[in-house]
Structure 1
Amino acid sequence: MRVETFLSASAARRPDKVALVAGERRLTWRDLDRASDRLAGALAAHGIRRGDRVVVFMDNCAEAVVAIFAILKAGGVFSPIHPSTKADKLAYVLNNCRAAGLVTLGRLARVAAAALAQAPAVGTVMVAEPRDGAPPSWLRYDAALSADAAPPPAPGIALDLAMLIYTSGTTGRPKGVMMTHQNMLAAAGAVAACIDSREDDVILSVLPLSFNYGLYQVFLAARSGATLVLEKSFAFPQAVVQRIAAERATVFPLVPTIAALLLQLKDLKTGDLPTLRTFTNTAAALPIGHILRLRTLFPAARLHSMYGLTECKRCTWLPPDELMRRPDSVGVALPGTEVWVADETGAPLPPGEVGELVVRGPHVMQGYWDDPAATARALRPGPYPWERVLHTGDLFRADAEGFFYFVARKDDIIKSRGEKVSPQEVERALHALPGVREAAVLGVDDPILGQAVKAIVVAAPGALTAQDVIRHCARVLEDVMVPKHVEFRDALPKLDNGKIDRRALAAPLMDAAE
């Protein structure tokens, strides 16, 4: 079994049921299955072969979902990239994974073309809704759908790579997480069991498809035959609430940022949105105040709190019945997996002691693409000689009943709006701004974002303002990476080896918070 069989099975079982709602478009399971068949045939006809990587540079739209399933049906490996990604970073991904193809939108064509100029090995480019900036040599999505080409009859097996999803890392360069069909089937199955996914569900997701949490809403819907309603973002919360009501949504995936914005709506009252039966949350634990308010507003809905990382999708979940007993816990291991808190040797620690969270299960990644050193740090020998287990880099403790509690991150990654931000990547952008002498980036607590990006800059006297720094970052970085705060200092604290002392850098911020 492979991931795309979720789609074909739902199309066979409920062909006329609405599968996907995106803007004004409504596709049935039959529509989605046939469109992805035709697109897969077009990709294969234009050179995409089994194992080829194809980057999907699109926003939350119907074409992106069709493209993902089409790439899988063609035997390829899809790699979703956020639509606000700039050309240099897109070029890095294309070159790093040695992409054979790129699928994009007309409104992103100029960025895509600039990236492709730096990645000449990409052989197949397809564009939906072409506009100015899309070369005539690029394949047209609509033309591919009308060609009625058949996909390859045998795209591969479950051990093949299905997805290469890039995640920020401590080096400042994104790393490609390799997930097989088998990995993804196991992850989707475990999550579906925890949250009781149903065929009659209507999942409304505002999470980007380039974000692992948002992407899996597609596969959870296809697995159960549910309906997925895709929204571009949560920038206009009231409009999304109206959409939830209009579509009679039953499932609403959250991150803490979305919960905070939702709870700020003054017109929302107890009993509104009565069809909602399930909230899911990940990225960070919800504050107890948010949990209590959600329970008051939506008394019939159950909140499933989970913890995970791109390298294994999810690893723990907190049963809703345990939420009020231990709201600060991220729960127990997913079904069919094992997790434990380990010392520096990887040996399990007793309850109450703090150590690194280790994950064992069929959902653990194969490694980082073309990065054996990073793979060796993350995947290490497990309890048995034939396996490697995932060392997450996150510090946890467990209680005597086997419930886990997040303590801290071993690295400096910032979690803003539920997405990972590499300080080193933002710092590289800052150092490219004339007038910047030194720069460091860290996360500061924010009631809406979870963490906000703060830039601490040493600049030539009078050379820059905070707005100069923010405008520069907005030109060269993804939206989530742009600093919200800028502070100027005369110097940055250093360690004996000359590196920036990040602990000392953050100390004044912690003192101010106290």
Structure 2
Amino acid sequence: MNRYEHHLSLAAARRPDHPAIVQAGARTSYAQFDAAASRFADGLVEHAAFANGERCVVFLDNRVETAVAIFGTLRAGGVFSVINPTTKTDKLAFVLNNCEASVLVTQASLAAVAFAAAARAPSVRKVVVVDGLPGDAPAAAVPWDAFNAVAAPGCAAARPAGIDIDLAMLVYTSGSTGNPKGVMMTHKNIEHAASSITTYLESNEDDVVLSVLPLSFDYGLYQLLMCVKMGATLVLEKSFAFPQKVLPLLAAEKVTGFPLVPTMAALIVQIRNFDPAWAQSVRYITNTAAALPPAHIFKLQELFPNAKVYSMYGMTESKRCTWLPPEQLARRPDSVGIAIPGTEVWVADDEGRPVPPGTIGELVVRGGHVMQGYWRNEEATAKTLRPGRYPWEKVLHTGDLFRMDEEGFLYFVGRKDDILKTRGEKVSPKEVENVLYALPGVREAALVGVPDPVMGHALKAIVVRDGDAPDARAILAHCRAHLEEFMVPRTVEFRDSLPKTSTGKIRRSVLQAEAEGRALPEEDEAPA
């Protein structure tokens, strides 16, 4: 069977001049994209002695070079991992060491963080820098143009071979211990997920998808992967911070697909001078991360009269789990739908057995899109991938609580573990709390999520401090300096003490229940 990068070769052969990526006004055709990916693959082999299965970490903004590095790594028989460009040195160093990356790709504006992290990762042999090398570049650094120069004769033939069950990517997601976990996905996993999603979206080669979602976020990454599969066009933007600059692209590029998260929808529905021309070509809008408020759904349908709105649920460990057929949206706007094509899902008790309709339990997923496990983390893998109905399979226990109605439609209830979801990203309270504790004067700290109709959870730090400890502004500045943007608390609350167990452990469950305005089970009600 073919590896996933063959879709790029097929698209380049079928429609070489068709735009593959539009970014910052520049258009990259499929022929150009395909050739650039091959040059990068040859660079990996020639300059980094890249072998089958080695890892390339891509630490870039949303840009054409990010896409080239992704497909070039696959073409060289390797495994790519795209890391959020707001990641700080300690976390990037952890990722590089955890996956034993051979190559790190970055850009000049991120070079200081990249070089510092690479210096702490003995496995990194080359650091490839877009936009030129800074003066303090280490010996391992090489400029993008030199790395992608015409390769030596026979270099392409030296590219490692592989098959579709080989690992293709690692997507790092927050873990309950505070360290991120690398979700392992094979070429076959990606193919299954992309085929299923493009089936229910009725995707085609004439689609034009506008994505402002980070390529480090699997929802954003799959916009690229699915466009290449179809031979469609991806209009790639860095962010949605200035909607009035991004939305006109819908009309200018005749966009047909527009993936959203709730924070984007909230900004769009508040625009007073929304130009109807922006929406004319859009035939579908997708949403995931958190359910859209019904009022926002109805407003989007009003603003985009020609578009179907797809509510979906997914997680990094399986990409997508469910979708709601658009014709069901008016009847059950708070549902995340049914299993995506070619997969099965059910709501289960603690033993993994299906529960009756209306009963709350854990969502379990089976299908070809389920991850292979967490990279070199057998304990976490065993908790998440468990024996299924048949001797040959493992099924995904999502850690999310759901209920199913009598007609088989699913409704998200909440998380089983401490992981919080905000703005579509998973956040480990432990990771944020570790940063808080590093600040002198912070004696105790806990992170909770306050329910928010747009973000899912708005993060709040609850802190016990010494007398001369920093104020809220200093605490938030410290967090911004050490955490990705989406992990920074929005507010800080000071208390004299935090609830604890008899062994002195902070009872975050009590604080989280308080933030959500709900009661705990009887045995958890009174702090010890």
Please give the TM-score of this superposition, normalised by the length of structure 1.
0.97
SS in 2 for 1:208: coil
Question: Given the alignment, which residue of 333, 343, 349 partners 1:327?
Answer: 333
CA displacement, residues 391-434 of structure 1 (integer Å, 9 cap, x when unaligned): 00111111122111111111122222211111110000000001
> d(CA) in 2 for partners of 1:211 and 1:420?
10
Alignment of 1:349-428 (within 5 A): 349-428=355-434
User: C-alpha deviations, 1:257-303, integer Å up to 9, x for none?
Assistant: 11111111111155642111110111111110111101111111001
For residue 116 of structure 1, the aligned residue among 111, 115, 118 is 118
Q: How do 1:74-473 and structure 2 match up within 5 A?
A: 74-132=76-134, 133-135=136-138, 137-148=140-151, 150-151=155-156, 152=158, 155-268=161-274, 270=276, 272-473=278-479
Instruction: Assess if the C-alpha contact under 8 Å between 2:126 and 2:140 holds in 1.
Output: no
The CA deviation at 1:498 is: 2.1
Q: What residue identity is the alignment partner of 2:438?
A: A
Distance of 1:271 and 1:321 partners within structure 2: 24
Match of 2:521 in 1: none
2:42/2:148 contact within 8 Å kept: no
How far off its partner does 1:146 sit? 3.0
**In structure 1, C-alpha distance between the alignment counterparts of 2:195 and 2:279, rounded to whole Å:** 28
Question: What is the distance in 1 between the residues matched to 2:137 and 2:289?
Answer: 36
Q: Please say which of residues 239-248 and 15-24 is displaced more in the overlay.
A: 239-248
Alpha-carbon deviation of 1:223? 0.7
Partner of 1:52: 54
Is the CA contact (8 Å cut-off) linking 2:249 and 2:278 kept in structure 1?
Answer: no
Equivalent position amino acid for 1:387 in 2: E
User: How many Å separate the matches in 2 of 1:364 and 1:15?
Assistant: 33
CA contact (8 A) 1:107 1:130 kept: no
* TM-aligned CA deviation for residue 495 of structure 1: 2.0
- The DSSP-based 3-state class of the residue aligned with 1:146 is coil
1:427-473 deviation line (CA, Å, top 9, x unaligned): 00000001100100011133543322111111111421100100111
1:471-508 Cα distance to aligned partner (Å, 9 max, x none): 11111111111111011111111123322122322344
Higher mean alpha-carbon deviation, 206-215 vs 114-123, is at 114-123
Structure 2: tracts of 5 or more residues without a match? 519-528
Letter in 1 for 2:28: L
**Rounded Cα–Cα distance in structure 2 between residues aligned with 1:161 and 1:15:** 28
Q: Name the CA shift for 1:491/1:22 in 2 (closer, same or farther; >3 Å).
A: same
Q: Distance in 1 between matches of 2:283 and 2:485?
A: 32
Q: Which moved more, 1:400-409 or 1:205-214?
A: 400-409
Kindly provide the amino acid, as one letter, of the partner of residue 143 in structure 1. Answer: A
Q: Tell which deviates more after alignment, 274-283 or 412-421.
A: 412-421
Q: Helix, strand or coil for the counterpart of 1:407?
A: strand
The 10-residue stretch of structure 1 (425-434 or 445-454) with the greater mean CA deviation from structure 2: 445-454
**Alpha-carbon distance in 1 for matches of 2:452, 2:339:** 29
In the alignment, the residues of structure 1 paired with residue 13 and residue 415 of structure 2 have an alpha-carbon distance, to the nearest angstrom, of: 45
Deviation at residue 304 of structure 1 after TM alignment: 1.1
Contact 1:49 1:75 in 2 (8 A): yes
Question: d(CA) in 1 for partners of 2:337 and 2:274?
Answer: 29
In 2: Cα distance, 1:509 partner to 1:190 partner: 37
Amino acid at match of 2:25: E
Task: Quote the Cα distance in structure 2 between the aligned partners of 1:37 and 1:199.
Answer: 22
- Aligned partners of 1:136, 1:25: CA distance in 2, in Å? 32
- In the alignment, residue 489 of structure 2 is paired with which amino acid? P
Contact (CA 8 Å) 1:56, 1:67: kept in 2 or not? yes
**Alpha-carbon shift at residue 155 of structure 1 (Å):** 2.6
Give secondary structure in 2 for the equivalent of 1:178: strand
Per the alignment, in what secondary structure is the counterpart of residue 374 of structure 1?
Answer: helix
Matched residue type, 1:66: V
In the alignment, the residues of structure 1 paired with residue 145 and residue 133 of structure 2 have an alpha-carbon distance, to the nearest angstrom, of 13
Partners of 1:279 and 1:319 lie apart in 2 by 12
**Counterpart contact for 2:321–2:339, Cα < 8 Å:** yes
Q: Counterpart of 2:85 in structure 1: which amino acid?
A: P
Cα separation, 2, equivalents of 1:451 and 1:68? 31
Deviation at 1:104, TM superposition (A): 1.0
Structure 1: which amino acid aligns with 2:138? P
The percent of aligned pairs where both chains have the same amino acid is 58
CA contact (8 A) 2:58 2:105 kept: yes
Q: Secondary structure at the match of 1:3?
A: coil
Cα distance in 1 between the residues matched to 2:402 and 2:72: 40
Shift of 1:142: 1.2
Q: Deviations over 1:230-251 (max 9, x none)?
A: 1000111111112222212111
Unaligned runs of 5+ in 1: none
SS at match of 1:156: coil
State the Cα deviation string for residues 184-218 of structure 1 (Å, max 9, x = none): 00000000001111111110000000000000001
How far 1:154 moved relative to its partner?
Answer: 5.3
* DSSP 3-state at the match of 1:434: coil
Residue 30 of structure 1: aligned partner: 31
Matched to 1:138, the amino acid is: A
- Could you tell me how far apart the structure 2 residues matched to 1:22 and 1:269 are? 22
8 Å contact 1:47–1:124 — kept in the other structure? no
SS class of match (1:360)? strand
- 501 and 429 in structure 1: CA distance in 2 versus 1, 3 angstrom threshold: same
Letter in 1 for 2:20: A
Aligned residue type for 2:248: Q
Distance in structure 2 (CA, Å) of the matches to 1:331 and 1:374 = 28
Match of 1:8 in 2: 9
Q: Distance in 2 between matches of 1:246 and 1:42?
A: 36
Equivalent residues of 2:451, 2:516 under 8 A apart: no
Aligned residue for 2:247, secondary structure, equals helix
TM-score of the pair, normalised by structure 2? 0.95
Number of aligned residue pairs: 513
Answer whether contact 1:127 1:134 (CA < 8 A) is retained: no
Residue 350 of structure 1 and its aligned partner are, at CA, apart by: 1.5
Counterpart AA for 1:406:
F
* 1: CA distance, partners of 2:515 / 2:362: 26
- The alignment partner of 2:206 has SS state of coil
Structure 1 position 68, deviation (Å): 0.3
